[in-house]
C-alpha cells in the first residue's frame, strides 16, 4: 500500500475510491473495503482510501478531553494495508477544510485531483460542511462528472449495524468479547514502559506500567484482562490490570495500566510494547487486605494461562 499525504500530483490509474475516518477498521468497514478491492480488480484499476488527519472531532470539538478513538493513524494504516488497499490518501483536516461544501469536495478533490472513476460509500456516510453530503448528494453532484457512485450496506451483527461508536461503548463497559467480535480482531494498544510504584513486585507479581503512545487512544474499562504482550517481536502471555488499585490506593489515585508478563524477568523500562486484549477476567475489586489481593492474583494468573492456552 502506498501512502500519500495530500492529493497533489497524484497519478492513479482508474481509481476506485472510498472515504471516511475508519476508526477501528472494523467488520463494517471491511464490508466496504472488500467491495472496494473487488470493484478495483473488476475495473483493472486501483483501490484508493481517503481518510483525514487529525480526526475531525479533534478540530471541531471544543472539549477534547474525553475524545477517545479505537485506532491511531499508524494502527489504521496497518489494518488498511491488511485489507489489500493499493493507496491511502491522508488529507489534512482543518477548520477551513471543514467549511468546504460537499459538491465542491467532489469536484475539486475527488474529480480534479484524484480522478475518481468509481466511488463507494457506506450506508450512513456523511461528509462536507455540517455533514450535508450523503449518498443522494454525491449522486446529484456526480451527474456533472463521469464517475459511478455505489452505496454499500453495512455489516450486521447481533447488536445491529456495526459502528465505531458502538464498539467504543462496548469496550468502556467491559464487554470485550462483543467489541472484539465487532472489530473482527482483538483490541490492542501500544505504549512505553514507564516506572511505577513497584507494588506488584512486592506482592510477587512485578508489573510493567504502560503509557499509551496516543493520549486519545481508548483505554478499556477498569478490570483485569488476559492479554498477549509483544516485546521486540516476541509474544508473551500476561495479565493486565486497568484502574486505580483500590486495595492499596485511596480514591484519588490516578488510573493506571499495568501488566504482569508471565515467565518474564527482563528490564524493559523505556521499551515500546503492544498489548492485545484477549479475554476479560474480572472487575477491579477492593480487597480487605493485601493477602486477599495476592490470592486473587494467583487465581487470575491460572485463569490467564488456561484461557490463553486455547488460542
Point out which residues pair with 51 in neighbouring strands: 90
How confident is the model at residue 129, as a pLDDT?
Answer: 59
Q: What is the pLDDT of residue 127?
A: 63
Q: Please choose, from the candidates 67, 69, 87, the residue with its C-alpha nearest in 3D space to the C-alpha of residue 77.
A: 87
Q: Can you give the pLDDT at residue 157?
A: 67
Q: How does 35-68 read in b/e, with b if 16+ C-beta sit within 10 Å?
A: bbbebbeebebbbbbbbbeebbeebeeeeeeeee
Angle between helices 164-172 and 176-183 (to 10 degrees): 160
Can you name the residues that pair with 17 across neighbouring β-strands?
48, 119
Question: How far apart are the C-alpha atoms of 159 and 177, rounded to whole Å?
Answer: 13
What does the pLDDT read at residue 246? 77
pLDDT at residue number 153? 76
Residue 9: partners with Cβ closer than 8 Å, 6 or more residues away: none
**Residue 160: C-alpha distances to residues 166, 182, 239 (Å):** 10, 10, 31
Mean pLDDT by 10 residues, the chain (311 residues): 91 90 95 95 95 91 84 97 97 90 87 91 67 71 79 71 92 96 97 82 82 95 97 96 84 86 91 97 90 92 93 56
Q: Are strands 272-282 and 15-19 parallel, antiparallel or unpaired?
A: unpaired
Residues with Cβ within 8 Å of residue 23, at least 6 apart in sequence: 55, 69, 70, 71, 76, 164
Rounded distance, CA 208 to CA 199, Å?
A: 11
pLDDT at 61: 82
Which pLDDT value is given to residue 130? 57
pTM of the model: 0.90
pLDDT of residue 254: 83
Q: Residue 302 is placed in which grid cell?
A: 491460572
Q: What is the pLDDT of residue 146?
A: 77
CA 290 vs. chain centroid, Å, equals: 36
Instruction: Give yes or no for a contact between 90 and 56, defined as CB atoms under 8 angstroms apart.
Output: no
Pairing of strands 234-243, 223-231: antiparallel
Question: What pLDDT does 251 receive?
Answer: 67
Amino acid at each position: 500500500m502506498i501512502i500519500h499525504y495530500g492529493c497533489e500530483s497524484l497519478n492513479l490509474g482508474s481509481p476506485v475510491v472510498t472515504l471516511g475516518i475508519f476508526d477501528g477498521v472494523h467488520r463494517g468497514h471491511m464490508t466496504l473495503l472488500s467491495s472496494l478491492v473487488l470493484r478495483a480488480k473488476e475495473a483493472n484499476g486501483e483501490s484508493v482510501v481517503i481518510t483525514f488527519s487529525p480526526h475531525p472531532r479533534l478540530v471541531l470539538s471544543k472539549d477534547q478531553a474525553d475524545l477517545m478513538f479505537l485506532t491511531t493513524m499508524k494502527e489504521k494504516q496497518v489494518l488498511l494495508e491488511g485489507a489489500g488497499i493499493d493507496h491511502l490518501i491522508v488529507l489534512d483536516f482543518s477548520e477551513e477544510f471543514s467549511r468546504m461544501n460537499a459538491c465542491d469536495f467532489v469536484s475539486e478533490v475527488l474529480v480534479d485531483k484524484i480522478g475518481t472513476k468509481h466511488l463507494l460509500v457506506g450506508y450512513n456516510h456523511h461528509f462536507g460542511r455540517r455533514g450535508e453530503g450523503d449518498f443522494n448528494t454525491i449522486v446529484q453532484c456526480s451527474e456533472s462528472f463521469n464517475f459511478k457512485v455505489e452505496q454499500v450496506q453495512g455489516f450486521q451483527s447481533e447488536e445491529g449495524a456495526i459502528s465505531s461508536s458502538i464498539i467504543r461503548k462496548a469496550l468502556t463497559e467491559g464487554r470485550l468479547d462483543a467489541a472484539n467480535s465487532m472489530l473482527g480482531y482483538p483490541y490492542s494498544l501500544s505504549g512505553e514502559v514507564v516506572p511505577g510504584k513497584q507494588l506488584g513486585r512486592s506482592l510477587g507479581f512485578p508489573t510493567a506500567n504502560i503509557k499509551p503512545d496516543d493520549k486519545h487512544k481508548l483505554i478499556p474499562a477498569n478490570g483485569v484482562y488476559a492479554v498477549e504482550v509483544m516485546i521486540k517481536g516476541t509474544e508473551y502471555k500476561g495479565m493486565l490490570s486497568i484502574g486505580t488499585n483500590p486495595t492499596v490506593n485511596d480514591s484519588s489515585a490516578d488510573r493506571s495500566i499495568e501488566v504482569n508478563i508471565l515467565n518474564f524477568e527482563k528490564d524493559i523500562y523505556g521499551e515500546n510494547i503492544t498489548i492485545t486484549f484477549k479475554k476479560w477476567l474480572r472487575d477491579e475489586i477492593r480487597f480487605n487486605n493485601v493477602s486477599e489481593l495476592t490470592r486473587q492474583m494467583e487465581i487470575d494468573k491460572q485463569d490467564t494461562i488456561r484461557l490463553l492456552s486455547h488460542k
